[in-house]
Structure 1
Amino acid sequence: MSELQEGNLDLPLPGDGNTWQRWESLIRLGRQDLSLARLAEGHTDAAAILDELGADLPASGELWGVWAAHPPTHRLSARRHGSRWVLNGSKPFCSGARTCTHALVTAGADSGGRRLFAIENEGTTADPSTWAAEGMSDSDTLTLAFKDVPAVEVGEPGDYTGRPGFHHGGCGVAACWYGGAEAVAETLADKAGVGSPDPHTLGYYGAVVRDLRAARDVLRRAAEEIDDDPDDLGGRAAERALLVRSVVASACSSVLGHCAEALGAGPLASDAAYTRAAQDLSVYIRQHHGARDLAQLGERAAHGAAGAGP
């Protein structure tokens, strides 16, 4: 992964005063290749988590992932083995399953509760059959089987999701989505900017410009707010992350739809870059939980505003 080897993933940490610079790097990677951005986002998120929880940062040449999905169909358990822990079971949606040298992994402890562990990615077995989609296929997102994999606990129980950075990191994922939407929009932008495009093309492109600029403004404002209150003393981090992710995911869906309507089947048949960008983005934004996240946003906003409206 050349971005790592060249040191291009040594990004500012969230809340350090340069959050927008951090996200601009993720946007650039998303515009270039969403699978690359997914791996980069995981590595940089791991670095931020390790920093926030007082652990050593990734060493040169290491590539880290954050594997925290826990659907009911899979279980990864942690049990003490002397002074350390070992992990057994399976974990789905591990991006960089065969690429990452290390990872932060959530697992259910034998004593109860879910904890966060650091592992060297040895002793795991990837199942290549667990990713059927063309979209995001290069992100190497697979289910991993763990058998007595040594692990070191990071932080205390509850620290991973309880820190403000959990929500700051969620906004960083949306920055990757946004970069992917810019890549999808490039083909329509080219069509709208050449010759005398028809009014329908210009109308679709106008909608794309509207959605992208609105999403970028929301991301930029969120970065400023995080830098102003990195420790979330104002208690807005969770609501902010829900808002940012919802706005950006909605913009991405709109861009995909408008570009598909305006461009038709032509680019899907003849433009490999456009097809790949559209497929990747369609899959990646499924990390947004749609109506469930909107319900959480509405609940938080309603209680916080005390009936005063958004």
Structure 2
Amino acid sequence: MTTERYGQERRDADGQPPDARFRSGVAAGAFDLPLPGAGNTAERFAALARLGEADPVLARLAEGHADALAILAELDGPPAGDGRWGVWAAVPRSLTARRDGAIWLIDGDRPWCSGAGVCTRALVTAAAPDGIRLFAVDNPGTALEGTWPAVGMAASDSRTVRFTGVPAVPVGGPGDYTARPGFWHGGIGVAACWYGGAVGVARPLLAAARAQREKHRAATGGDRPEAAGVAPPDPHLLAHLGAVDARLAAAGALLRAAAATVDADPKADLRRLTGQVRATVEATATEVLDRVGRALGAGPLCRDGRHARRVADLTVYLRQSHAEADLAGLGEQVAAEEDPRW
């Protein structure tokens, strides 16, 4: 089953739905990004941002695949092969792992499985007798109908998947999935996708400001802004654009700085930095969504299907953040440090 059922009108400029673009991208190696901490993390984050700008749904699927490849490399997992990977690690105890002789079997229902109908392999967390473990599974379980009735991120097909005695290969040991340094690198990668999504939402605002500016210049000859009867560009629209530019510039700079930090010490504990990046990018994207809507009104949301989908998709994607819970965790880390080095 393709994700088309979960976004029937969804077609991009090339006429393909996101799941088809994901299939072709994986086949072409387009999502085999530089591994984090290997010296080119900035390009990894930039690639994820470009995907987010192009289509938040495609970015969500591609980020999961790229994250799986990084996890397998970091934890010496099985060969990635040519599968389309997902990382389905939400609600870790919703799955259980048991031994059957020499093999492991997975049982249970796992929610929030992005690409449920298109991923051919997945990394899943499960409660084993010795703790929470990560497992690689081929031919993942059955995606349950009716478990993703969403509007935003509809085409990501993030349904609940049922596992019934599915064979699994352990990846690392108990607790290794969250204890590894790359867990935080992956969290920053998601923020890069959010950042790109915000850039995509901001594009119509930039286009509107440029159109007003060119119309004014054409009407006044470019050098007579005081010409009677010719309205100058809307100052409120320009103010929103200026604020969006400032926020995106700050978030982009923080992502680039984070990439440099990852490469400088790939084994470092980056919990605090990850919290800072995710909180900053989330706030930036939220403000971009608000300002673009206020500046442009209902028109693009009602008449531009691609923009409307992008806004809905990014709104849902941002909720992968845990909001105040994440901020409280960040605050606890700051309070525990002698010098927060602000």
4+ residue runs over 6 A deviation: none
Write the distance in 2 (CA, Å) between the matches of 1:41 and 1:266. Answer: 31
CA positional deviation for 1:128: 2.7
User: Is the CA contact 2:38–2:263 (under 8 Å) kept in the aligned structure 1?
Assistant: yes
Write the distance in 2 (CA, Å) between the matches of 1:271 and 1:186. Answer: 13
Write the distance in 2 (CA, Å) between the matches of 1:179 and 1:206. Answer: 18
- What residue is the counterpart of 2:105 in the other structure? 86
Q: What is the root-mean-square deviation of aligned Cα atoms in Å?
A: 1.3
Tell me, yes or no, if structure 1 residue 262 matches structure 2 residue 285.
Answer: no
- 1:145-184 CA-partner distances (Å, limit 9, x unpaired): 1111111111010111001000010000000111110110
Write the distance in 2 (CA, Å) between the matches of 1:7 and 1:282. Answer: 29
- What residue is the counterpart of 2:274 in the other structure? 241
CA positional deviation for 1:59: 1.2
Identity across matched positions, percent: 51
Specify which of 209, 214, 217 is matched with residue 250 of structure 2: 214
Write the distance in 2 (CA, Å) between the matches of 1:114 and 1:245. Answer: 25
- What residue is the counterpart of 1:157 in the other structure? 174
Write the distance in 2 (CA, Å) between the matches of 1:56 and 1:89. Answer: 23
Q: Which amino acid aligns with 1:119?
A: V
CA positional deviation for 1:112: 4.2
User: Which TM-score applies when normalising by structure 2?
Assistant: 0.86
User: Is the CA contact 2:135–2:168 (under 8 Å) kept in the aligned structure 1?
Assistant: yes
Unmatched segments (≥5 aa) in structure 2: 1-22, 214-232
- What residue is the counterpart of 2:11 in the other structure? none
CA positional deviation for 1:6: 1.5
- What residue is the counterpart of 1:273 in the other structure? 306
3-state secondary structure, aligned to 1:56? coil
**Stretch deviating more after TM superposition (290-299 or 158-167):** 290-299
Write the distance in 2 (CA, Å) between the matches of 1:301 and 1:201. Answer: 37
- 1:4-57 CA-partner distances (Å, limit 9, x unpaired): 122111111000000010111111111111111111100110000000011234
Aligned runs of 1:187-202 on 2, under 5 Å? 187-196=204-213, 197-202=233-238
CA positional deviation for 1:302: 2.1
3-state secondary structure, aligned to 1:16? coil
3-state secondary structure, aligned to 2:155? helix
Tell me, yes or no, if structure 1 residue 130 matches structure 2 residue 147.
Answer: yes
Q: Which amino acid aligns with 1:66?
A: V
Specify which of 154, 157, 179 is matched with residue 196 of structure 2: 179
User: Is the CA contact 2:78–2:171 (under 8 Å) kept in the aligned structure 1?
Assistant: no
Write the distance in 1 (CA, Å) between the matches of 2:149 and 2:290. Answer: 23
Aligned runs of 1:67-146 on 2, under 5 Å? 67-70=88-91, 75-109=94-128, 111-122=129-140, 124-146=141-163
Q: Which amino acid aligns with 2:241?
A: Y
- 1:57-81 CA-partner distances (Å, limit 9, x unpaired): 4113x1101000007xx72111101
Write the distance in 1 (CA, Å) between the matches of 2:341 and 2:70. Answer: 34
Write the distance in 1 (CA, Å) between the matches of 2:28 and 2:254. Answer: 30
User: Is the CA contact 2:95–2:110 (under 8 Å) kept in the aligned structure 1?
Assistant: yes
Tell me, yes or no, if structure 1 residue 21 matches structure 2 residue 43.
Answer: yes
Q: Which amino acid aligns with 1:21?
A: E
Write the distance in 2 (CA, Å) between the matches of 1:289 and 1:159. Answer: 22
Write the distance in 2 (CA, Å) between the matches of 1:258 and 1:10. Answer: 34
- 1:248-279 CA-partner distances (Å, limit 9, x unpaired): 00000000000111111101111111101101
CA positional deviation for 1:301: 1.6
CA positional deviation for 1:309: 6.2
Write the distance in 1 (CA, Å) between the matches of 2:259 and 2:341. Answer: 24
- What residue is the counterpart of 1:291 in the other structure? 324
Specify which of 203, 225, 233 is matched with residue 239 of structure 2: 203
- What residue is the counterpart of 1:300 in the other structure? 333
User: Is the CA contact 1:302–1:309 (under 8 Å) kept in the aligned structure 2?
Assistant: no
Write the distance in 2 (CA, Å) between the matches of 1:97 and 1:81. Answer: 26
Write the distance in 2 (CA, Å) between the matches of 1:59 and 1:89. Answer: 26
Write the distance in 2 (CA, Å) between the matches of 1:48 and 1:106. Answer: 16
3-state secondary structure, aligned to 1:130? coil
Write the distance in 1 (CA, Å) between the matches of 2:125 and 2:193. Answer: 23
CA positional deviation for 1:132: 1.9
Unmatched segments (≥5 aa) in structure 1: none
User: Is the CA contact 2:37–2:263 (under 8 Å) kept in the aligned structure 1?
Assistant: yes
Larger CA Rg, structure 1 vs 2: 2
Q: Specify whether residues 229 and 308 from structure 1 end up closer, same or farther in structure 2 by C-alpha distance, changes over 3 A only.
A: closer
User: Is the CA contact 1:178–1:252 (under 8 Å) kept in the aligned structure 2?
Assistant: yes
